[in-house]
Amino acid sequence: LAWITGLGVVLFAIGSVFAARRVTTPLRSLVHATETLGRGQYDVPMQHTDRHDEIGGLAKAFDAMRINIRAQQNEIRTLAYWDRLTGLPNRARFREAVQEQIQMASADSAQPAKSMAILMLDIDRFKHVNDVLGYSFGDQLLIAVAKRLTQQDMRAGDMVARLGGDEFAVMLTGSSAEVAVAVAQRIAKSFELPLAFEEQTVDMSASMGIACFPQHAQDVDALLSRAEVAMYAAKSRTTLMQVYDASLDSSSTETLSMLSELRNAVAQGELRLFLQPKISLATGHVVAAEALVRWQHPQRGLVPPLEFIPFAEQTGFVRQLTMWMFEESARITQTLADLGAGFKLAINLSTRDLLDLEFPARLDAVLAKYALPASAFCLEITESAIMDDPQRAQSTLNLLSQRGFKLSIDDFGTGYSSLAYLKSLPVDELKIDKSFVMNMETDEDDAKIVRSTVDLAHNLGLTVVAEGVENALIWDKLKALHCDEAQGYFMSKPIAAHTFAAWCATWNARQQQTA
């Protein structure tokens, strides 16, 4: 009996061990599997899913969770690295790929780094297409650009990406600047076929910038930045493409020196305010003036605006120049009281001013400082500045108009704004570009453009100013067309602000004598 009892105990113990192992082994397996999931490894299937007991049910539940997590992670990665509209890699994935190529190219320190080119592309006039033809057409344009870029003859390892908005980029592995230029030329050729969508057709063109590793930069951020600098240089010069050069970069020594000098010019009082009068064609009297800045450099003398204004716009320093001009204009307004309550000083705004959300508040502070109404000023904006970002520009213009500023479209006729969009803007005045006015006595087409613009503006209830009035014949033609105001060298070149009041007194007195 004793041995039977002992055998039973042994068998029970063995059975217990096997039973325990049948439970604990799968549980250890499941614990290990959850640890694997915790490390982000979602491709290893769960074991024991073929069991028909509670352990099997638990394993199946864990495996279903694994599959769901993997699907979610794949979707998150897709959202994080791919552009939904075009199906191309996005900026984050492109940057990661460029970084990987740089690391691979630099891996063998004993060998020269393998070259790579970045081609960055921006669609010309894309915001205008969105504004005039609608966002649906704009999306179709982006999809068409993506398709034409991916159809180029690329090597294995090359990548096309949409960086955002209307910017695309191409990574050309093992390629020089010369190869990238050839690719850019092929891309431009592919854009010659217009895009047709919903009975609308639009010509496609783009500005492209090229930067190379390791020639132009040795890290990913500098490389992408310099490709972008080259792209915007191509756009500003209206050329097809631009290979990066240090002279283009706002971080170059020469540019930093110019920026330092400009800051010093403001601090040391080297800037000078000049005013060019606007004359009423009906009365001949001075009714307004455009504020202009000149730089009295201690070594170079009087620096023309074309030598520093474009630079200021490129670097963003133009915002400081705008505020300097506005404050100087506000200060000198007190000396121009004799010109009447309706006299206005006009200040030019840049794209950066329009996109600066704090800009209206800064103008408010200057007005409060000098106890002046906003109605004493006219703010001039070019069509191109508005069309760079129409929605934000219109928002800023609405705020300025609500404050009482008079708003003027400068250089009208040279930009891309539509008449429908013009009607929606809170503007009070159109300035006809001087390129049309100066030739209207000899070019019938220019004369027609001026005549049509005057009629258009008057029909919209706007004042019309003609720039570039160089002689009496043009003055007389504009007067016959019932243009409101004239500005140009026939009346006066820009005058130093401190002598402007005296000039106006002399001019107005002469007009009264000849009336």
Tell me what the mean pLDDT of segment 360-376 comes to. 95
Residues 63 and 110 in one domain: no
Confidence label for 307 from pLDDT (cuts 50, 70 and 90) = confident
Q: Which residue, of 29, 62, 81, is where some domain finishes? A: 81
Dig out the tokens for 27 from the structure. Answer: 């549980």
| 12-43 per-position pLDDT tens digit | 555 555 555 555 566 666 666 666 666 666 66
Q: Report yes or no on 339 lying in a domain.
A: yes
Tell me what the mean pLDDT of segment 49-74 comes to. 69
Q: Give yes or no for a contact between 389 and 355, defined as CB atoms under 8 angstroms apart.
A: yes
Number of domains in the chain: 3
Question: Residue 503: its pLDDT value, please?
Answer: 96
Q: Give yes or no for a contact between 93 and 161, defined as CB atoms under 8 angstroms apart.
A: yes
| 74-106 per-position pLDDT tens digit | 555 555 788 989 999 999 899 999 999 999 887
Sort 466 into a burial class: Cβ within 10 Å, 0-12 / 13-18 / 19+.
Answer: buried
Residues 74 and 97 in one domain: no
Question: Residue 223: its pLDDT value, please?
Answer: 93
Q: Report yes or no on 127 lying in a domain.
A: yes
Q: Give yes or no for a contact between 377 and 406, defined as CB atoms under 8 angstroms apart.
A: yes
pLDDT over 70 (residue 454): yes
Omega before residue 26 within 30° of 0, cis: no
Residues 30 and 154 in one domain: no
Q: Report yes or no on 260 lying in a domain.
A: no
Residues 244 and 313 in one domain: no
pLDDT over 90 (residue 200): no
d(CA 412, CA 420): 14
For residue 192, give the CATH number of its domain. 3.30.70.270
| 124-134 per-position pLDDT tens digit | 888 777 767 77
Q: Which residue, of 214, 248, 282, is where some domain finishes? A: 248
Q: Which residue, of 46, 81, 116, is where some domain finishes? A: 81
Residues 146 and 196 in one domain: yes
Q: Report yes or no on 353 lying in a domain.
A: yes
Residues 75 and 175 in one domain: no
Q: Report yes or no on 253 lying in a domain.
A: no
Prediction pTM value = 0.57
d(CA 262, CA 103): 40
Residues 285 and 400 in one domain: yes
Question: Residue 125: its pLDDT value, please?
Answer: 80
Tell me what the mean pLDDT of segment 148-152 comes to. 91
For residue 402, give the CATH number of its domain. 3.20.20.450
Q: Report yes or no on 466 lying in a domain.
A: yes
Q: Give the residue with greater pLDDT, 13 vs 220.
A: 220
Q: Report yes or no on 259 lying in a domain.
A: no
Question: Residue 292: its pLDDT value, please?
Answer: 96
Residues 131 and 16 in one domain: no
Tell me, rounded to whole angstroms, the distance of Cα 498 from its chain centroid.
Answer: 38
Tell me what the mean pLDDT of segment 293-310 comes to. 86
Dig out the tokens for 371 from the structure. Answer: 């106890």
Dig out the tokens for 434 from the structure. Answer: 């001087």
Question: Residue 53: its pLDDT value, please?
Answer: 66
For the CA atoms of 281, 283, 284, 287, the dihedral, rounded to the nearest 10 degrees, stands at -90
Residues 415 and 284 in one domain: yes
Residues 100 and 74 in one domain: no
Residues 236 and 276 in one domain: no
Enclosing H/E stretch for 346: strand 344-348
Confidence label for 256 from pLDDT (cuts 50, 70 and 90) = low
Q: Which domain holds residue 13?
A: 2-81
Residues 108 and 174 in one domain: yes
Q: Is the dihedral of CA 394, 397, 401, 402 positive or negative?
A: positive
Q: Report yes or no on 262 lying in a domain.
A: no
